[in-house]
Structure 1
């Protein structure tokens, strides 16, 4: 619930050429290729200076959530981000979730019609080492329709996203809801094989106005049990749609993306 920005100094990088660089970050827009169904696969390639990290879509209490705005794009109906499996960190005694060294974020762009796509927008992200700094990437790039050769760097990033439930052998997911001091207590029971080592989970309520605490996770044979408190950021009542609950299991061998629970 607490977002720690230790400095309010923000920098803005304009990404309109092959790459841009600051002391903490080098960013490149990989133009990618046009898919057989007409969508276009591109990617943001971020390389971080030693010791720096950036954050996943659900960054934890000590992280800064990335935000995107593609409203300036031309011939782009939607932009969907595929998130590679992140790592778990401790910052000031709180858990954060993100990436170190580098990360490639695949962007699947659905065009409004035929022809090239003009991708134009902003990415707001947090960069942290001993301090945290907000940074804004301003992105402008042309995605040519006639480029059909896959980019192996993007393909590798797509291969590193968490498994689906079917791929990971998840049999069943149930969620129990109970009143809590400030909201609700959600307990999920996931019937799945062990994903290796110490398993951690991330629970997302499917509503940006609902905060989820760091889950408590235990293993009972084939069943992974994880619980978190859900609190409305405005202090209001919570109407939870179980079909929108998203649980990510982070194991040593692999991660699993679970969407919805019974």
Structure 2
């Protein structure tokens, strides 16, 4: 993971104006598209699934966002409603970088991003049609929403693993077992507006400045960027949680996901116990 300090950008414009406008990448011929997309056909796995990928190539100076991008980012969204003969999609995100821009933190990617996807067919004897609309945020001097329409028949698998997909899988965060995580707890307490979650994970230092991201898996829940500290072998992350409608909510600790992004590698922790 790298930490970048970028020149000031018009984040407020992204939120107040950009969502109401057509992205430059979606406009007419007067605009240059800063994102190029390509489907990597991938290869068939022994269990019947296909391991394919979407490759995004961004112009220099542009970035896009990870699945949990922080308050300054725009989270990506995939609409699979028009796909054919695809029963299930599992998206695998490579380890992102952390950016600080005008005092705001975002998490994402620059340059080339390969997003591997495990695709389960409804009928293994028929080809799959990868038809999806990707909604994502892209940023340079300003941040704007962007859409990419993909429509490809997955009927020509590579005879061997695709190097770009293999490299993307290798750059994913380590699992908690691979990283030597010994314990992960979550203490949840009420606040005036919602609840606070305090996650503590015992694991070796991941290098440099560590950033922890907490995801709850709950719908309609806003969660703040975690305040991350480390003491010895324990990293602590504290976030505030508020439901979108202001009502009460519950947290399933088994669905909590804690990603620790360090200077040397990242770790994906699934689930936590009461603490």
Describe how 1:70-85 pairs up with structure 2 within 5 A.
Answer: 70-85=80-95
Comparing 128-137 with 85-94, greater Cα deviation is found at 85-94
Instruction: Look up the SS of the partner of 1:27 in the other structure.
Output: strand
Where does residue 94 of structure 1 map in the other structure? 104
Q: Deviations over 1:36-56 (max 9, x none)?
A: 111001111111111111000
Describe how 1:33-112 pairs up with structure 2 within 5 A.
Answer: 33-112=43-122
Where does residue 248 of structure 2 map in the other structure? 237
Root mean square deviation of aligned Cα: 1.8
Out of 196, 212, 215, the residue aligned to residue 204 of structure 1 is 215
Where does residue 118 of structure 1 map in the other structure? 129
Q: Deviations over 1:78-99 (max 9, x none)?
A: 1111000011112342211111
Superposition deviation, residue 208 in structure 1 = 3.2
Asked if 1 retains the 8 angstrom alpha-carbon contact of 2:42 and 2:157, the reply is no
TM-score by length of 1: 0.92
Moved over 3 A (4+): 145-148
Instruction: Name whichever structure is richer in helix by fraction.
Output: 2
Q: Distance in 1 between matches of 2:157 and 2:195?
A: 51
Q: Distance in 2 between matches of 1:75 and 1:230?
A: 38
Instruction: Look up the SS of the partner of 1:133 in the other structure.
Output: strand
Describe how 1:128-147 pairs up with structure 2 within 5 A.
Answer: 128-144=139-155, 147=158
Where does residue 215 of structure 1 map in the other structure? 226
Where does residue 9 of structure 1 map in the other structure? 21
Comparing 28-37 with 142-151, greater Cα deviation is found at 142-151
Superposition deviation, residue 22 in structure 1 = 4.5
Unmatched 5+ stretches in structure 2: 1-11
Q: Distance in 1 between matches of 2:22 and 2:219?
A: 23
Asked if 2 retains the 8 angstrom alpha-carbon contact of 1:196 and 1:254, the reply is yes
Comparing 235-244 with 158-167, greater Cα deviation is found at 235-244
Instruction: Look up the SS of the partner of 2:165 in the other structure.
Output: helix
Asked if 1 retains the 8 angstrom alpha-carbon contact of 2:185 and 2:201, the reply is yes
Superposition deviation, residue 216 in structure 1 = 1.1
